[in-house]
């Protein structure tokens, strides 16, 4: 029996909640092992018997005051905040703090959190000293707020002992498939993945776009343009600082606070994004794309993409 609590607060994203509830339906129809696995999902949160989700939807929920002990698995979907200021304000509100206290008491449960739900889990203290991932564009905010967590926002899914974390919004599906695999084995997990036509993904890197950071820190747009104008050249920290009229120390602090990366790592990610875009052009060879971002040959690009995305260049070719 897979017994799951889904912890929600008002404004939580509906995608993660619905996907978790639908997991029970998908499992009930999976007969990969000759019988349908037993699964029970309970939604927990709020204090009135229902919780309003983002987008005008609502879900019936067991109030926190009546929930009692947490089930063996507690799943925390995204809490619906998309910006640094918004999420930091939301986490300080009484209902979010109450949810974090309830989660902190779930000492004997496995915790699985995705997207901005990882912030709520971190507020509860259950991610301290763990390797984690989170929604990629808030990785810098997460790392600054929870310095004892070891954040790798390139990865779509991270397991560390009793905790699973996943990346942005639809990374919640990867999280659920990982739970199914742990509970029922890889055969059942593959059967469910086939039923919903989703394959587990290794990395968030193919989805990262540097322009998402512009609203957080406009100076990063200058860094981005500087790198794009010199894609086939090595990038030095001193050059980035000069382009933004900041000291190297200030630039390093600003980029890390926003992205969780060093300036040179951020510049390399911009080059990776450019390479992924160029690979979609069927008229460009892999070697040509490699040279376009300053690499010696196709082998160098293959190594870079495997390290940052988990895939070879061929995975990003159109058609």
In this prediction the pTM is 0.77
Q: Which fold has domain 209-316?
A: Arc Repressor Mutant, subunit A (1.10.10)
DSSP string, 213-281: GTTT-THHHHHHHHHHTTTTS---HHHHHHHHT--HHHHHHHHHHHHSS-HHHHHHHHHHHHHHHHHT-
Q: Are strands 73-76 and 110-114 parallel, antiparallel or unpaired?
A: parallel
Inform me whether the pLDDT recorded for 33 exceeds 60: no
Nearest to 100 by CA among 153, 56, 136, 64: 64
Rounded average pLDDT over 264-273 = 88
Rounded average pLDDT over 142-166 = 91
Q: What integer pLDDT is reported at residue 211 of this predicted model?
A: 66
Q: What integer pLDDT is reported at residue 34 of this predicted model?
A: 56
- Per-residue tokens: 38: 């037993």
Q: What integer pLDDT is reported at residue 214 of this predicted model?
A: 67
Q: What integer pLDDT is reported at residue 2 of this predicted model?
A: 86
Q: What integer pLDDT is reported at residue 204 of this predicted model?
A: 72
Q: What integer pLDDT is reported at residue 316 of this predicted model?
A: 83
Identify the band that residue 188 occupies on the pLDDT scale cut at 50, 70 and 90.
confident
- Per-residue tokens: 167: 């990346």
Q: What integer pLDDT is reported at residue 153 of this predicted model?
A: 84
Contact 133, 204 (CB under 8 A): yes
- Per-residue tokens: 75: 């799943």
Q: In what helix (H) or strand (E) does residue 163 lie, and over which residues does it extend?
A: strand 163-166
| 2-205 carries CATH number 3.40.50.740 | no
Inform me whether the pLDDT recorded for 215 exceeds 70: no
Percent of the chain with pLDDT over 90: 43
Same fold, 2-205 and 209-316: no
Q: What integer pLDDT is reported at residue 112 of this predicted model?
A: 96
Domain ranges across the chain: 2-205, 209-316
Q: What integer pLDDT is reported at residue 189 of this predicted model?
A: 83
What is the per-residue pLDDT across 275-308, written as a single tens digit (0 to 9) for each? 988 888 888 899 999 999 999 899 999 998 888 8
**73: phi then psi, degrees, rounded to nearest 5:** -120, 135
Q: What integer pLDDT is reported at residue 30 of this predicted model?
A: 62
Mapped onto helix, strand or coil, the DSSP state of residue 142 is helix
């Amino acid at each position: 029996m897979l017994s799951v609590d889904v912890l929600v607060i008002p404004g939580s994203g509906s995608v993660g909640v619905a996907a978790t509830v639908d997991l029970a339906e998908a499992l009930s129809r999976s007969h990969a092992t000759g019988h349908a696995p037993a699964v029970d999902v309970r939604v927990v949160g709020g204090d009135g018997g229902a919780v309003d989700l983002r987008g005008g939807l609502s879900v019936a929920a067991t109030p926190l005051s009546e929930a009692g002990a947490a089930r063996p698995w507690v799943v925390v979907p995204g809490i619906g905040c998309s910006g640094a200021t918004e999420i930091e304000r939301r986490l300080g509100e009484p209902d979010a703090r109450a949810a974090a206290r309830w989660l902190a008491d779930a000492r004997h449960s496995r915790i699985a959190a995705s997207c901005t739900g990882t912030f709520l889990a971190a507020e509860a203290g259950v991610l301290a000293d763990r390797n984690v991932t989170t929604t990629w564009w808030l990785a810098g905010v997460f790392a600054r707020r929870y310095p004892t967590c070891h954040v790798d926002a390139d990865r779509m899914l991270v397991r560390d002992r009793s905790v699973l974390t996943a990346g942005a919004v639809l990374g919640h599906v990867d999280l659920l498939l990982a739970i199914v695999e742990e509970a029922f084995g890889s055969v059942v997990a593959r059967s469910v993945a086939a039923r919903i036509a989703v394959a587990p993904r290794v990395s968030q890197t193919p989805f990262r776009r540097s322009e998402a950071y512009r609203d957080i820190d406009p100076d990063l747009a200058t860094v981005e343009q500087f790198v794009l104008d010199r894609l086939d050249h090595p990038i030095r920290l001193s050059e980035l600082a000069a382009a933004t009229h900041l000291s190297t120390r200030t630039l390093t602090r600003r980029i890390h606070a926003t992205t969780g990366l060093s300036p040179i790592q951020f510049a390399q990610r911009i080059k990776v994004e450019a390479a992924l875009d160029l690979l979609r052009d069927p008229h460009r060879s892999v070697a040509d794309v490699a040279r376009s971002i300053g690499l010696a040959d196709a082998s160098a690009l293959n190594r870079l993409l495997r390290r940052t995305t988990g895939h070879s260049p061929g995975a990003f070719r159109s058609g």
